[in-house]
Structure formats: C-alpha cells, structure tokens
Amino acid sequence: MRIGIMLGTDRVAHSIDTIVEVTKQVEAAGLDNIWMANIRAHDAITALAIAGRETQHIGVGTAVTPSYPRHPIALAQQALTAAAATNGRFTLGIGVSHKVVIEHVHGLSYAKPARHMREYLEILMPLLRGESVTYEGEHYHVQDIALETPDAKPPPVVLAALGPVMLKLAGTLADGTNTWMVGPKTMEHHIVKRITDAAAAADKASPLVVGGFPVVVTDNPDKVRQALTDPLALYGRLPSYRAMLDREGVADPTELAIIGNEREVKTQIGRMRDIGVTDFMAAIFALESDTFDRSLALLSTLAK
C-alpha cells in the first residue's frame, strides 16, 4: 500500500511556494504521493504540475477535480500537460462534486450525474490515450479531435465513486476510485468489492483504491476528536458522504477520523491495507503544535 498525504480538506489556503515546499518535505520523508483537493483555492492540477516539476520522484494527484465546469477535451489537455511536466508522476482524480456546488455555485445542471460521468469518461479516456474521438451523447458532442502530446504518457484516472453506479464506471472505464468519508466496513464490503468486481468483469487490471481519511497523531484523542467536529461537519450534511456514514453505521464524520498515538494510528492504517486500499491518503489536521510532524514521521515509517 502506497502512503501519501492530502492538502486542502482542512480548508487552509496555501501559496504555491508552500505547496512546493510541503511536497518537497513529503518527498524527503519517503512518502509515495501527495494529493490536493480542488475546492476554492489554487487549481490543483496546475499547482501539482509545478510541485511535481520541483521534485524528483513523488507522485502527485488531484483529489478531486470537478468534471462539470471543465470540458473533457480541456481537462485531457491539462492532465497530459501535468503528466509531461512531472515525467509521468501525475494521477488525475475527477468527480461530479455535489449538487449544491454545481447548481448553486456554478449555475450548471446537476441532472443525471452518472450519465454525465459516463459520457465524460468515454471522451476523456481515449483522448488521454492519444486516440481520435468523435462522440454524440446527451451531454457532449465532440467531432474528430485528437491531442498531440508526444512527451506525455496517459496518466492514471481515478474517479470519486461512492454509489454502485459510479463504482461500476470507475471499475470499467477509469483506473480506480478515490474515496473520502468511507469507513473500514464500507470500504471492504462496498467500495473494494464493487469496483474490483466491475474491473474483473471488464477484463481490466486490478483497480486503484485511494482511501482518504482525516489523520491526527496525538496523545489527546478525545480533545482532538472534539476539535474536528466543526471542520468535518459539512461532510455529514452532503448527501453522498451522509450515505457512506449511514452505511458504516456512524452518526458523525469524526468517528471515521484516524486519531491516536503512533501505535494506534499505525494499527488503523494497517487495517486499510488489509482490506484492499492500494493508496492511503492522510489528511493531516494540524490541531496541535506537533501534530503535523508526528503524523508525517509515522507515515514515513509506514512508507519505508
């Protein structure tokens, strides 16, 4: 299981210089990946292309870039450019986001998100492979387009997939999934099982399963869990995440956070490996002065 960290879930806006410096720090610690949410700060693909250019071997990936505001041709160009800039170390994570974001913020229709994503992937994936695409769908119409990026190999594409239909799309059309707010039971018996079955049925390679979790290494777990209540509250209200919490049988998002001392956190992360997570993505919430350093040090030992 590869080990990485995720920037952006704590809603702290970082400068490009900070993103580069953190990426260098995470690479020096021996971790495999750094992931970045695409919310209301810097464009994650662009920022990671810069950070990847400034590093040597660490993987960089989006978690995730919303599809609705970006035409699949434009996103394919951007992803291939990032892949070229990072010498093949870029992973494209995409998702449909949430109705409240797409309709209320962007002013776009969120009707038929699964149909939207199927069409999106049926255009995006061939373009990333260098193929010519002509497509007539309900949402997209593309005529005879191919991208010429000789210095870029197709980046892996992981789809933010929680429901059965999206998981099937992730297993059959994409290279895997990127999850958030999914507990261990749900991860094993719902996410991993469904996407693995879908990939097998499509005669595809074993899918990537990127599992994102809030992580805090601390000697004050009760205090930290209470402090996470407000930062994580939103995830208990968004329908797709709420469905995962209900499936897991937990009431509050803080119950899914991985919190404790080094031994306790190591045990919980090890469980993710055992149930089929291929890439662990730690969103470190620096709630105490030494939280980030302790958490990164532990993740470093796991990565090595």
CA distances from 257 to 94, 245, 282 (A): 23, 12, 10
Residue 304: the pLDDT is 87
pLDDT for res 176: 98
Dihedral sign computed on CA atoms, order 200, 206, 208, 209: positive
Interval 273-282: pLDDT, tens: 999 999 999 9
Q: Which of 2-16, 95-109, 200-214 has the highest mean pLDDT?
A: 200-214
**Is cis: bond before 64, omega within 30 of 0?**
yes
CB 48 within 8 A of CB 59: no
Q: What is the mean pLDDT of the chain?
A: 96
Domains held by the chain: number: 1
Domain that holds residue 251: 2-303
Is residue 152 over pLDDT 90? yes
Rounded to whole angstroms, the Cα distance separating 255 from 270 reads 18
Q: Note the helical H segments in the chain.
A: 16-28, 44-53, 72-85, 99-104, 113-128, 164-172, 184-186, 193-201, 221-227, 229-232, 239-248, 262-274, 291-303
Band of pLDDT at residue 9, cut at 50, 70 and 90: confident
User: What CATH number should be reported for the domain holding residue 92?
Assistant: 3.20.20.30
195 and 227 Cβ atoms separated by less than 8 Å: no
Q: Which residues pair with 91 in a beta bridge?
A: 61
Angle at 76 between CA 88 and CA 129, to 5 degrees: 65
- Backbone Cα Rg of the chain: 18
pLDDT of residue 29: 98
Q: State the average pLDDT over residues 243-256.
A: 97
| Whole-number pLDDT of residue 13 | 74
Give the contacts of 96 (CB within 8 A, at least 6 positions apart).
Answer: 66, 67, 68, 102, 110, 113, 116, 117, 160, 166
pTM above 0.85, yes or no: yes
